[in-house]
């Protein structure tokens, strides 16, 4: 019996080992199959990416046209998937197909309009009302304590208002329905004059550039305020600040809830942190910046090209301050924007489109004068807003 038991036990042991080998072989086979699929997908993505970057369009086709009523003295700006038209008499929203979405009448001397994604804020310079809109129309009215001098709006509809308070400059943060979130007051002697401001997408962080004299020397401070729990324990909600002697900082903006940047006459600075933003890159600039644009976690700077055959030079930085691309162009531009992996430059009569690696993808003239060029859901499709019509085009 013992001998038989041992024999049976040995046989069972051999079977178990064989079974394990088969399991391992099966797992390796499955792993190899999955790995092959993953590698194939990665190769396809790389091939498509390379093909996209190298593809060049030589013209465009108009695939639809709808009429549009032009209003003299009006201004248009992109808004969501359409655009806003505003003047001293009111504001009007139109979708990409030319349909009237909503209108809102008002009377203003100098209307200021700020757009962030699907939210927009409108106020009269020195007025005391801020109107807030989304894709459906007006969603709230804010009555301010003092005359409004500047406004910003976050991607969630939080409104930042700089108001005139005489010897002090009040800064207020509001929900779109008019409820005040927080406020603080600045003075020339304490902080300086607020020159530029930005607000994070979630409305929690506010960045402000102040201009002041430090022992007779022009100096700028970029200060960050946190209106969440962390900032409640700090004086005036101030959580971090940086001084730049001899600099003028006219641009402070957020790329996301936790990344921001500031552009001065002599540098571009990047900040990171969702609670207490800290500087992560400080790049000195040796040329005068003509324009700043941003989006998709990137920042673009445009300079006059003093040492080349083209009129303009452009530098593209990522959110950490790394210089990604330098490219050159000649056309006089009215607007520049990021669109996915592309950079779109246009004016009333022509456009240039670059891939983010610097390859030129399109350059050509419009058939009619264009007031606004809007992305339309793919890298090939765009909406062209003209005085009397709206065209949807596809690059060919």
Of 281, 263, 285, 284, nearest to 272 by C-alpha is 281
For 304, how many CA atoms within 13 A lie in the half-sphere containing its CB?
Answer: 2
pLDDT at 15: 61
Cβ contact 367:30 at 8 Å: no
pLDDT at 16: 59
- Enumerate the β-bridge partners of residue 101: none
d(CA 270, CA 275): 15
CA dihedral 31, 35, 38, 44 (to 10 degrees): -150
d(CA 43, CA 50): 10
Give pTM, 2 decimals.
Answer: 0.84
Strands 278-284 and 129-134: unpaired
Neighbours of 246 (CB within 10 A): 12
* Burial (CB count within 10 angstroms: exposed 0-12, middle 13-18, buried 19+), residue 41: exposed
Distance, first Cα to last Cα, the chain: 85
Q: Kindly give the parts of the chain with pLDDT less than 50.
A: 1-13, 42-52
- Compute and round to an integer the Cα radius of gyration of the chain: 28
pLDDT at 244: 97
pLDDT at 33: 67
Query: What backbone phi and psi angles, to 5 degrees, belong to 157?
Result: 90, 10
- Alpha carbon separation from 32 to 28, 29, 179, 248 (Å, rounded): 6, 5, 59, 59
Neighbours of 177 (CB within 10 A): 11
């Amino acid at each position: 019996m013992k001998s038989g038991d041992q024999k049976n036990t040995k046989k069972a042991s051999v079977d178990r080992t064989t079974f394990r080998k088969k399991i391992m072989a099966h797992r390796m086979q499955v792993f190899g199959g999955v790995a092959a699929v993953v590698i194939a997908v990665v190769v396809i993505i790389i091939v498509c990416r390379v093909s996209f970057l190298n593809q060049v369009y030589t013209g465009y086709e108009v695939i639809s046209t709808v009429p549009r009523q032009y209003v003299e003295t009006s201004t248009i700006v992109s808004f969501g998937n359409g655009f806003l038209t505003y003047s001293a008499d009111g504001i009007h929203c139109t979708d990409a197909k030319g349909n009237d979405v909503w209108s809102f009448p008002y009377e203003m001397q100098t209307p200021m309009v700020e757009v962030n994604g699907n939210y927009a804020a409108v106020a009269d310079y020195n007025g005391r009302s801020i109107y807030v809109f989304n894709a459906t129309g007006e969603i709230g009215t804010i009555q301010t304590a003092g005359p409004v001098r500047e406004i910003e709006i976050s991607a969630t509809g939080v409104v930042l208002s700089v108001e005139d308070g005489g010897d002090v400059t009040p800064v207020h943060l509001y929900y779109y329905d008019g409820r005040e979130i927080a406020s603080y007051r600045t003075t020339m002697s304490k902080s300086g004059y607020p020159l530029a401001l930005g607000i994070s997408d979630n409305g929690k962080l506010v960045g402000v550039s102040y201009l002041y004299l430090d022992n007779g020397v022009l100096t700028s401070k970029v200060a960050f305020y946190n209106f969440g729990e962390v900032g409640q324990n700090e004086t005036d909600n101030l959580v971090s600040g940086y001084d730049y002697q001899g600099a003028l900082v006219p641009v402070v903006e957020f790329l996301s809830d936790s990344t921001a940047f500031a552009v001065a006459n002599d540098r571009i600075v990047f900040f990171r942190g969702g609670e207490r933003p800290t500087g992560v890159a400080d790049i000195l600039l040796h040329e005068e910046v003509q324009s700043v644009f941003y989006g998709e976690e990137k920042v673009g700077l445009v300079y006059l090209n003093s040492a080349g055959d083209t009129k303009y030079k452009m530098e593209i930085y990522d959110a950490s301050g790394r210089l990604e691309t330098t490219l050159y162009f000649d056309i006089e531009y009215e607007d520049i924007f990021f669109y996915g992996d592309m950079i779109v430059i246009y004016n009333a009569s022509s456009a240039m489109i670059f891939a983010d690696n610097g390859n030129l993808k399109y350059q050509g003239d419009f058939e009619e004068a264009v007031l606004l060029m809007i992305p339309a859901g793919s890298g090939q499709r765009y909406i062209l807003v003209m005085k009397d019509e709206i065209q949807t085009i596809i690059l060919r």
